[in-house]
Amino acid sequence: MITAINGTPHVTDIALIDGNDGRRSQILASLLSFYKVCPYGNSSFALQAIEQFPPKVVVIDETAPPLGGFEVLARIRKNSILKDVGVILVLANDRDGIVESVRQQRWCDCIVRPFRRSELIRRISSLTNRKVEQKWRDLPLIQQKVLNKSLEVIHSVSDAIDEGSPISDAALSEASSSLVCAVTNSDFRSVLNGLRNHDNYTYVHSVRVAILLTLLGKTIGLKESDLLLMAGCGLLHDVGKMTIPHDVLNKAGKLTLTEWQMMQGHVEASVRCLIATGNIHRVIISIAEQHHEKLDGTGYPKGLSGDAINELTRMAAISDVFSALTDVRVYKPAMKAEKALTIMSEEMAGHIDQHLLGTFGALMLDIGSEEGADTTEN
Ligand SMILES: [Fe+2]
Ligand SMILES: [Fe+2]
């Protein structure tokens, strides 16, 4: 999807229309890590721009001058070019059941001010991922639970980052137990397939790491309580990435030094967020803190080496690197499992525990090379 700022076309996900500068800035900041957002203060100008270059979703305040949100919504719904664009109307209050009547319209939703960051992200995500998430309904209950509850955990993290509120215990426990159940029954492939084309990269990557880490734990004989912990480690190891701007997180080229430092900062942000929520197991926090450490001491943030890096952290690092190499990104297709394993055993030989990698590699090849291809875009 493309839109224009100052006449220059560029890719965008969300058109944000609100005449109130303070509110617009606040919403823009809350979506910074998730989407490319184009802000507009004038709804007439915005309508012209989005007609020319439709975004995936329009978020419009009901008061946006001069047309107002309801008029813009009506014009969007009448416009065949914009028929697939999702619209979220931001309302000052719910009067006369207006929320329900808006939600009955095709690809429409609304949200009443004031709202939590997670609620807006969840509603946008439901619209941008509607085709992906629709397919989840055809899956068996356990796989549906893995996908839905993990998404709930990831969404609740945005409030944890903003407010230090606890990450949902119930969602984390349900996501972890259904994930362990899917892995122990070898029913995880449809979960990996279900992640295809979902636009929340941190979510997709985290669920993949959780599955791979739990699989590795199962293979080396960890007991169920440890597998539950492994699932939680995978789901929460990168939550700090939700503080990094979308442009940096999804940059195709080489990062500048400043951008690289910002990227490395996700570790500290993860630890800060997980500690602040007050209900996260210390092992999960330690994996979030250490999964980028390397055996030869060249990792970050502390440059730990050798025996200072325990077995669980080594397992997490392997699952994380393999997942990062085989993840689909906006700037690269999935790498084949065999190629990823070769890079990890040759170019990264000094970084990664090669004995554990042997077990992990055999496992990946045993369950089929689709691990690397499973999230390839259709
Ligand atoms: Fe990370
Ligand atoms: Fe990661």
Instruction: Tell me how far CA of residue 249 lies from CA of 109, 203, 240, 259, 374, in angstroms.
Output: 28, 13, 11, 9, 22
For 340, residues 6+ apart whose C-beta sits below 8 A from its C-beta are 322, 325, 326, 372
In this predicted structure, the answer to whether residue 165 has a pLDDT above a threshold of 90 is no
Provide the CB-side half-sphere exposure for 278 (13 A, CA).
4
How much of the chain is helix, strand and coil, in % rounded to 5? 60, 10, 35
For 5, residues 6+ apart whose C-beta sits below 8 A from its C-beta are 38
Instruction: State the burial class of residue 37 (Cβ atoms within 10 Å of its Cβ: 0-12, 13-18, 19+).
Output: buried
- The closest ligand to the CA of 208 turns out to be 2
CA 313–ligand 1 middle distance (angstroms):
12
- The closest ligand to the CA of 244 turns out to be 1
- The closest ligand to the CA of 265 turns out to be 1
* pTM of the model as a whole: 0.91
CA 341–ligand 1 middle distance (angstroms):
19
CA 214–ligand 1 middle distance (angstroms):
17
- The closest ligand to the CA of 325 turns out to be 2
pLDDT digits (tens, 9 = 90+) for 247-305: 999 998 899 999 999 999 999 999 999 999 888 999 999 999 999 999 999 999 999 99
Amino acid letter, residue 288:
A
CA 191–ligand 2 middle distance (angstroms):
18
- What does the alpha-carbon distance between residue 152 and residue 195 come to, in Å, rounded to a whole number? 14
- The closest ligand to the CA of 233 turns out to be 2
Percent of the chain with pLDDT over 90: 82
Q: Is 237 in contact with 206 (CB distance < 8 Å)?
A: yes
For 329, residues 6+ apart whose C-beta sits below 8 A from its C-beta are 201, 250
CA 262–ligand 1 middle distance (angstroms):
12
Is residue 171 within a helix (H) or strand (E), and if so which, with residue range? helix 169-184
| SS3 label, residue 192 | helix
Instruction: Tell me how far CA of residue 346 lies from CA of 6, 110, 189, 292, 368, in angstroms.
Output: 48, 52, 28, 18, 21
Residue 3 pairs in a beta bridge with 10
- What does the alpha-carbon distance between residue 179 and residue 152 come to, in Å, rounded to a whole number? 14
How much is the mean pLDDT over the chain? Answer: 92
pLDDT digits (tens, 9 = 90+) for 327-351: 888 788 889 999 999 999 999 999 9
CA 320–ligand 2 middle distance (angstroms):
5
CA 95–ligand 1 middle distance (angstroms):
44
CA 292–ligand 1 middle distance (angstroms):
6
User: Could you give all domains of the chain from N- to C-terminal order, each with its CATH number?
Assistant: 2-128 (3.40.50.2300), 136-373 (1.10.3210.10)
pLDDT of the residue at 11: 61
CA 161–ligand 2 middle distance (angstroms):
18
- The closest ligand to the CA of 291 turns out to be 1
- What does the alpha-carbon distance between residue 113 and residue 256 come to, in Å, rounded to a whole number? 38
- The closest ligand to the CA of 235 turns out to be 2
- The closest ligand to the CA of 319 turns out to be 2
pLDDT of the residue at 162: 83
At residue 238, φ and ψ (nearest 5 deg) are -120, 20
| SS3 label, residue 130 | helix
In this predicted structure, the answer to whether residue 361 has a pLDDT above a threshold of 50 is yes
In this predicted structure, the answer to whether residue 1 has a pLDDT above a threshold of 70 is no
